[in-house]
C-alpha cells in the first residue's frame, strides 16, 4: 500500500474561523493562523455631530435668505419698470392744486390721466385735459422747498409714476374749442362755439359762463380751454397776450383726465358732457 502524504495544516485541516476574528486570509506563523484585527469604526462624538448639523442648518438659512432677497429685488425692479412704462405710455397721476375746476375737481383731488388721448384717441370738446404751461400761464411763485432728501424722493417717485405730479409745470382745464373752431362770448352771456350757444351744466354754482368778452378762432394744432370755475380760472381768456394767443398747442397736452381716485369719498369717473356739444357743427 502506498501511503498518502499528510496534508499541511494550512490546507483543509485548518479551522475555518476563529472566535473573534475574520476567517484566515493570510500566512501562518508558527503553525497558527495570523489574527487580523477588525477595522476600528469610530462613531463621531455627539458634539461633533451637533456642530455639523448646526453648520448645515446655518447654510440652509443663509441660502433661503439669499433666495428671498433675490426674489424681493426682482419683484421691486419689475414693479418699478412696469410703473415707469405705464406712466410713460398709458396713465399718469396728478393732483389738483387750485379752485379753477370747482366743482368738478377740488383742491387736493388725485386724478388719473390717460396718455392715449391725444394719440390713438382724438381730443373732444368737453374733455378735461392736463397740459404743460405754454408760457406765462402759471404764477412765478416758488413752491416751498421740501428739503433735499424729500425733494429727491418725490422727484424719483414722480418720475416712475408712483407719486402724483404737482402743478409746477402743468394745468388742468376743460377743452372748449378744437383747431379751427370759432369761440366767443359776451360778459354774462353764454359761450358759443361755431355759432352754437353752450348749455354748460359743469360750471361751478353761481358763476357766469364768462365775465369778459372774447372772440377767437383757434389756431391749427391748438385748443381753447376754460376752467369750470370761470370766475377763478386763469384760462385761455386771460392769456391771449401770451405765446399762442391763449390757445394751447396740442403737443403740450399730456392727456385726458378720466377718473378721480382720491380722496376715496370723491372717487368717480370724469365723463365727457357730450350733450353740451352735440349740436356744435364742425369748424366752418
Out of 114, 115, 173, 247, the active site residue is 173
235 and 209 Cβ atoms separated by less than 8 Å: no
Q: Any bridge partners for residue 171, and if so which?
A: 131
CA-based nearest residue to 195, from 263, 279, 101, 133: 279
Spatial distance between the Cα atoms of 97 and 107, rounded to a whole number of angstroms: 5
Spatial distance between the Cα atoms of 210 and 208, rounded to a whole number of angstroms: 5
Q: Any bridge partners for residue 262, and if so which?
A: 110
216 and 238 Cβ atoms separated by less than 8 Å: no
Distances 191 to 55, 197, 199, 200 between C-alpha atoms, Å: 81, 6, 8, 9
Catalytic status, residue 173: yes
**Grid cell in block for residue 278:** 352735440
Out of 87, 100, 210, 222, the active site residue is 100
Spatial distance between the Cα atoms of 23 and 88, rounded to a whole number of angstroms: 85
Catalytically active residues are: 100, 173
Amino acid at each position: 500500500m502506498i501511503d498518502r502524504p499528510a496534508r499541511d495544516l494550512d490546507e483543509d485541516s485548518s479551522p475555518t474561523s476563529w472566535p473573534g476574528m475574520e476567517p484566515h486570509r493570510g500566512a501562518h506563523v508558527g503553525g497558527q493562523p495570523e489574527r487580523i484585527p477588525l477595522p476600528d469604526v469610530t462613531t463621531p462624538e455627539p458634539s461633533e455631530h451637533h456642530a455639523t448639523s448646526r453648520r448645515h442648518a446655518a447654510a440652509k438659512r443663509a441660502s433661503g435668505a439669499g433666495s428671498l432677497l433675490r426674489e424681493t429685488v426682482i419683484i421691486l425692479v419689475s414693479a418699478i419698470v412696469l410703473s415707469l412704462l405705464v406712466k410713460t405710455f398709458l396713465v399718469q397721476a396728478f393732483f389738483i392744486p387750485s379752485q379753477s375746476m370747482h366743482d368738478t375737481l377740488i383742491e387736493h383731488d388725485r386724478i388719473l390721466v390717460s396718455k392715449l388721448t391725444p394719440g390713438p384717441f382724438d381730443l373732444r370738446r368737453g374733455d378735461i385735459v392736463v397740459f404743460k404751461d405754454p408760457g406765462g400761464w402759471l404764477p412765478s411763485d416758488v413752491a416751498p422747498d421740501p428739503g433735499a432728501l424729500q425733494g429727491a424722493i418725490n422727484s424719483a417717485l414722480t418720475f416712475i409714476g408712483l407719486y402724483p405730479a404737482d402743478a409746477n409745470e402743468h394745468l388742468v382745464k376743460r377743452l372748449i374749442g378744437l383747431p379751427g373752431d370759432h369761440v366767443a362770448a359776451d360778459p354774462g352771456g353764454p359761450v358759443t362755439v361755431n355759432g352754437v350757444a353752450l348749455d354748460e351744466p359743469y360750471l361751478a354754482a353761481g358763476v357766469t359762463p364768462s365775465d369778459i368778452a372774447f372772440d377767437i378762432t383757434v389756431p391749427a394744432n391748438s385748443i381753447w380751454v376754460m376752467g369750470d370755475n370761470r370766475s377763478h380760472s386763469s384760462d385761455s381768456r386771460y392769456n391771449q397776450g401770451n405765446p399762442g394767443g391763449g390757445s394751447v398747442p396740442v403737443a403740450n397736452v399730456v392727456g385726458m383726465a378720466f377718473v378721480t381716485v382720491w380722496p376715496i369719498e370723491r372717487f368717480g369717473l370724469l365723463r365727457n358732457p357730450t350733450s353740451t356739444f352735440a349740436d356744435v357743427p364742425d369748424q366752418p
